[in-house]
Structure 1
Amino acid sequence: MRIHVTELRDGDKLSNDTFNGYGLHVLSKGTELYAREISKLFQHQIEYVDIISRKQEESARTIESGINPKWIPTVQPIYQDAVNGYEQLFLEAMQNGKIIEDDVVHTFQPLVDNFRMERDVVSMLLLLNTKDDYTYQHSVQVGMLSYYLSSWLGYSEKEAVKIGQAGFLHDIGKCQITDGILNKPGKLSDDEFEMIKKHTIYGHQIIRDSFGESLAATVALQHHERIDGTGYPNRLKGDDLHPVSKIVAVADVYSAMISSRVYQKKRDLLFVLKELYRMSFTELDAFTTHTFIKHMIPNFIGKQVELVSGETGTIIMTHPSEFFRPLVRIEDRFVDLTVLRNLEVKQVFM
């Protein structure tokens, strides 16, 4: 079936090789189309493509990339098993001051195996996130995000899995913080915050006692350090931070900001990424943060948006450097926010 590129859906598959107006090969027959591929079609000014009939494709497809709510029954148990597994690690560390490395691997690996090809990380985390078990869910999400981000930064699959595991364990030291402080709904006192800050030291000790000095131990100690020296516990600056600690710091901040616990009302995800961008010039490593944003922004392609003008439309294409100024289709016209500087996205509807 022949279709205009603005009508493409995640998972559509090309039935023919696709060429641009100059005869240059752009995408091969059989390519599955997601945010990056659709963006590539726009970049080459290709208006129409031939895709395999959706009815034919849907009969063969077991799970779509770009998680839709209808797939939650399939993926939710995998996510929940990881949350439950982390809870067991947390309780083990609280009772014995140690965890077993094989338990970490067996808990985290199914996430990697089942979500490795998931492209729409934005929707995935929002749909899976609940208001329950914040501490455990947060650690699972940071592990997943650290795995993705390290892959985007060029780490090998083996390295990315290790980094994901380090992110997964980054907050294990919170098992030594009392529930009254850890789950306090209101603002922490200065003394209580000083207690919370010690979770980095506790986590480092637990992991070191469990399987020696390691990447995970370093990350547990450093994930709240900041590039400008304003972090804790040792006020490290710049290159004194381990590169992987910089990765987990970005994942940690993002997960905390999208959490139901932090923002009781749904927060505009574009706002969250803008806040990360702001922090990249002071607290977070710029290259790491910009890589994260660059790979998250294309997940907004196809999402509905409201502009500050009050108009609503659909994000058609994102910009590789002007992250927050996409190409938006409003009815039958296209609005390029990199050109119309007086307009910007007010909110994204997820």
Structure 2
Amino acid sequence: MRIHIMNLQDGDRLTADTFSDAGLHILGKGTVIRSEDITLLMQHRVDYVDIELREEGITEAEFFAASMKHASESRSNSSSSGTSTGEQPPEEEMKSQFLQTVHNYQNAFLEALTVGKFNATMVDDALQPMVDGLDEQKDVVHLLMMLERDDVNNYTHSIQVGLLSFYIASWLGYSQEECYKISRGGYLHDIGKCKVSLRIRNKTEPLTAEEQLELQRHTIYGHEIIKNSMTDEATALVALQHHEREDGSGYPMQLGKGEIHPYTQIVSVADIYIGMRTGKHGASNPNLINNLRDIYGMGFGKLNEKAVQALMQHLLPNFIGKQVLLSNGEKGVIVMNNASDIFKPLIKVESEQYRDLSKERTLSINELLI
């Protein structure tokens, strides 16, 4: 089957030789894909390869990518024939926009890798339509769950951070123009990782001290790349500062409270929260409500308190009505947040009984179900 290189997995096997646009032979038929092979394909700007059909069948990400391609072709054919294809349902349109934005970020990432800068106009052309559609998505919890993907990578993470940064900025009262700039800062905050070795970025075991220092340099790389690509100093500062913490424990400059740009303060909260959801930052039980509890604690000294509180106040009501899986195996629906312990809600389970997690302390939410 034909697949985009960003959907390749370790162990996929090529069914045909792969060549660059210049005719250079990149990988041979029968190659078993590894991370370094994906990097090689990226460097030579190969977009699609042919692989053996996986036993588990096509992934959801591939399905939506194929759907997006089909929709694009259909729109093109419709335009030439003068017929209308109709409108997509809002959720499907949002997913399609998300995938288009993923592809755009990939292009910016690769361009920054090869020439040290990216086309800022292309970034805005991809991000602006998606941000414009956020006003119709009032349930942010549902949006984050809807756009969640199994193949989490730097691209999908950055886009989700950009979207959540937009919401937090709007909740804090920023203008529409500033909300977009803050969203763009979140979208590009990790662009400097293109200059970090893929081996380091994908390493599952603990990094050595030298590797950790190299990974931390992505903030400096990102600042340089954005400065080379656009005139927005605030976006460049977001890339440079998004790992700084108000208690001075961050990097690369150990800035303290009052020294971190207001846009960065927002993006940092979004970055950590999305990172927790995808199993980063040491989260032992990645689910949205438990992660909200964890980030709440970071609002006392490490992260900007106002940005954390805005996240809390606007996400907690979104959990009401959501289905959950409890630690005892029961499924239920959150019906009320407890004032005494906002992270231990009242849940109505399938047996029509109620579980008050603020009183039944041995019970916890294992998973939120979309």
TM-score, normalising length: structure 2: 0.68
- The alignment partner of 1:316 has SS state of strand
> Which position in structure 2 is the counterpart of 1:346?
365
Corresponding residue number in structure 1 for 2:243: 224
The AA in structure 2 aligned to 1:232 is Y
Contact 1:303-1:348 at 8 Å conserved across structures: no
* Change over 3 Å in CA distance of 1:319–1:99 after alignment to 2: farther
Is residue 2:213 matched to residue 1:194? yes
Give the AA of the match of 1:116. Answer: D
- Which of 108, 119, 131 is equivalent to 2:138? 119
Which aligned pairs between 1:51-200 and structure 2 lie closer than 5 A?
A: 63=89, 71=91, 73-132=92-151, 134-200=153-219
Q: Residue 131 of structure 1: SS of its match in structure 2?
A: coil
Distance across 1 between alignment mates of 2:343 and 2:285: 19
**Counterpart of 2:138 in 1: which secondary structure?**
coil
Report SS of the residue matched to 2:270: helix
Cα distance between partner residues in 2 of 1:118 and 1:336: 29
How do 1:238-277 and structure 2 match up within 5 A?
Answer: 238-259=257-278, 267-277=286-296
1:284 to 281, 293, 303: 303
- Hey, what's the Cα distance between the residues in 1 that align with 2:362 and 2:197? 48
- SS of equivalent residue, structure 1 residue 281: coil
Distance 1:237 1:263 in 2: 23
Contact 1:227–1:282 (Cα < 8 Å) also in 2: yes
> Residue 32 of structure 1 corresponds to which residue in structure 2?
none
- Which runs of 5 or more structure 1 residues have no equivalent in the other structure? 1-60, 65-70
Give, in angstroms, the shift of residue 201 of structure 1: 0.7
Tell me by how many angstroms 1:243 deviates: 1.3
Give the secondary structure class of the aligned counterpart of 1:274.
helix
How far apart in 1 are the matches of 2:151 and 2:130? 19
Q: Which amino acid aligns with 2:134?
A: F
SS of alignment partner, residue 334 of structure 2: strand
- 2:220 aligns to what SS in structure 1? helix
Counterpart-to-counterpart distance in 1, 2:159 and 2:179: 15
Aligned to 1:53: none
Whether the 8 Å contact between 2:290 and 2:343 is mirrored in structure 1 is no
Q: Distance in 2 between matches of 1:263 and 1:126?
A: 20
CA distance in 2: counterparts of 1:308 and 1:135, whole angstroms: 31
- 1:112 partner SS: helix
Distance 1:96 1:133 in 2: 25
Give SS of 1:240's match: coil
Contact 1:325 1:344 (8 Å CA) reproduced: no
Distance 1:162 1:63, change over 3 A: same
Q: Name the amino acid aligned to 2:203.
A: K
Code of the residue aligned with 2:150 in structure 1: it is K
Q: What CA deviation, in whole Å up to 9, does each residue of 1:4-50 have, x standing for no partner?
A: xxxxxxxxxxxxxxxxxxxxxxxxxxxxxxxxxxxxxxxxxxxxxxx
3-state SS of 1:284 partner: coil
> What's 1:55 paired with?
none
Instruction: Tell me how far apart the structure 2 counterparts of residues 132 and 263 of structure 1 sit (CA, whole Å).
Output: 18
8 A Cα contact 1:257 1:263, kept in partner: yes
Report if the CA contact (8 A) 2:327-2:364 is conserved: yes
Q: Give the drift of 1:133.
A: 5.7
- CA change 1:128–1:213 in 2 (3 A) is closer
Query: How far 1:292 sits from its partner (Å)?
Result: 0.7
> Which residue is 2:226 aligned to?
207
| Cα displacement string for residues 314-348 of structure 1 (whole angstroms, at most 9, x for unaligned residues) | 2123367953143433566666667x485764334
CA distance in 2, matches of 1:265, 1:276: 13
- Provide structure 2 residue ranges, at least 5 long, that are not aligned to the other structure: 1-86
Distance (Å, rounded) in 2 between the aligned partners of 1:269 and 1:174: 26
The offset of 1:246, in angstroms, is 0.8
Cα RMSD, aligned residues only: 2.9
The two structures have a TM-score, normalised by structure 1, of 0.72
1:148-200 deviations in Å (ceiling 9; x for gaps): 11011111111101110111111111111111112223221111110010011
In structure 2, the CA distance between the partners of 1:265 and 1:234, relative to structure 1 (3 Å rule), is: closer
Cross-structure match for 2:320 = 301
Q: CA 1:209 to 1:311, structure 2 compared with 1: closer, same or farther past 3 Å? A: closer
1:210 Cα deviation (Å)? 1.9
| Separation in structure 1 between the aligned mates of residue 253 and residue 338 of structure 2, nearest angstrom | 38
Whole-Å separation in 1 of the counterparts to 2:247 and 2:283: 30
The residue identity in structure 1 corresponding to 2:145 is L
**Residue-by-residue CA offset, 1:241-295 (whole Å, 9 max, x unaligned):** 1111110001111111112677999833222111111222232112211211221
Q: Secondary structure at the match of 1:216?
A: helix
Task: Determine the C-alpha separation between the residues in 1 that align with 2:161 and 2:285.
Answer: 19
The answer as to whether partners of 2:278 and 2:286 remain within 8 angstroms in 1 is: no
